[in-house]
Structures are given as C-alpha cells and as structure tokens.
Amino acid sequence: MGSKRFVWALALFLGCLIRGGAQAPRSSEQPPATSPSTAEILSDMQGVDFTKYLRRLRADLYRNWTLLIPEKVKPPLSTNGDVSVRFSILPDGTLAEMNLEKSAGDAELDKAALGAITSEGKFPPLPQEYHGPKLILRLHFSYNPLKNQPSPAPPQPAR
C-alpha cells in the first residue's frame, strides 16, 4: 500500500451504558456510563496488523481512565462530555507527544482522559514489523453519552 496514509478505527469499548429497566444498583467503585469510543491510527500502518496491540492498549487505558473519572460523572449529576486526544508512541513504547484535540469544556473530564494516557508510564513496544519512527494515534473518550446509543461489550483483558 506504499506510503499512502491510512486511518484505521478500532472500537474501543470503555464501559457499559445504563439502559432502561430494572438493574442492580451501581456501587461507587463501578465506572459511570461511557460510550463506545475509537482509537484511530493516523500513521502509515505499513501493512502491520495492530489488532493485538490496540486490544492491550484499550484494556490498559480503560483501567487507568476508570480510576481517574471524576465523581460528577457518576449519578446523580451524570455530567457528560467528549474528549479527543492525539498522541504518539515511539518504537520502544515511550510516549513521545500528546495534545488535547477536543476538550469536553470541563477541565476535570479533560484531565481524566489525558491522565489515562500519561499514567500508563511506558506503553508496550510497537510490533517489530513496524518500522515507522513513531505510531500516531487519536483516542476519543465519551462520558455519559446519549441513551439511544447501543451498549458496548466491556473490554476484555489483554492476553
């Protein structure tokens, strides 16, 4: 596919939506409702399959994010918002750069999304088949999306 730039989206399921009907009460330890979000690879993928890498990245970032989500996102306030973050990972897994592309308009929500990435410390090394100088990604974080969106499956642990 040459040097043609690819944008590849992978569903990044960051939790379960609350749906109507009788449900068990949620403890304060459970994450608030979130929407299916995406991780976009903005770099030329060079024909490399990043499925396993993104699956692990998704699980790690979900874990980090749920620890940082502010209380006001949980009921009864259920604050909502969307955040987009662009960042790059060097071949050894080092976070090279990070920029807030779309703010939720709420500093606490923005901080939780950015913190999900920075609190990872160092990411797994990029696949050996990938020879680019870095992998550029865009992540979308959604807090309490509209009720008419489908419920995502919870993230599965990386294997």
CATH number at residue 87: 3.30.1150
Does some domain include residue 108?
Answer: yes
- Sequence-ordered alpha helix ranges (H) in 104-153: 107-118
Does some domain include residue 115?
Answer: yes
For residue 99, give its domain range.
8-17+31-143
pLDDT given for residue 28 in this prediction: 40
2 has a pLDDT exceeding 70: no
14 has a pLDDT exceeding 90: no
Determine the average pLDDT of the residues in 10-33: 33
First to last CA, the chain: 29
Domain count along the chain: 1
pLDDT given for residue 145 in this prediction: 83
Does some domain include residue 154?
Answer: no
Does some domain include residue 66?
Answer: yes
Q: Where residue 95 falls among pLDDT bands split at 50, 70, 90?
A: very high
Does some domain include residue 79?
Answer: yes
Does some domain include residue 134?
Answer: yes
Does some domain include residue 53?
Answer: yes
State the Cα–Cα distance between residues 140 and 77, nearest whole angstrom. 22
The DSSP letter of residue 133 is S
Does some domain include residue 159?
Answer: no
pLDDT tens-place string over residues 36-51: 467 899 999 999 999 9
Q: At what angle do helices 51-68 and 107-118 cross, to 10 degrees?
A: 130
Q: How many CB atoms lie within 10 A of CB 100?
A: 15
12 has a pLDDT exceeding 80: no
Q: How far is CA 21 from CA 1, 5, 148, 159, in A?
A: 48, 45, 14, 34
> 140: Cβ–Cβ under 8 A, 6 or more apart, which residues?
12, 37, 38, 39, 82, 83, 84
SS3 state at 117: helix
pLDDT given for residue 156 in this prediction: 56
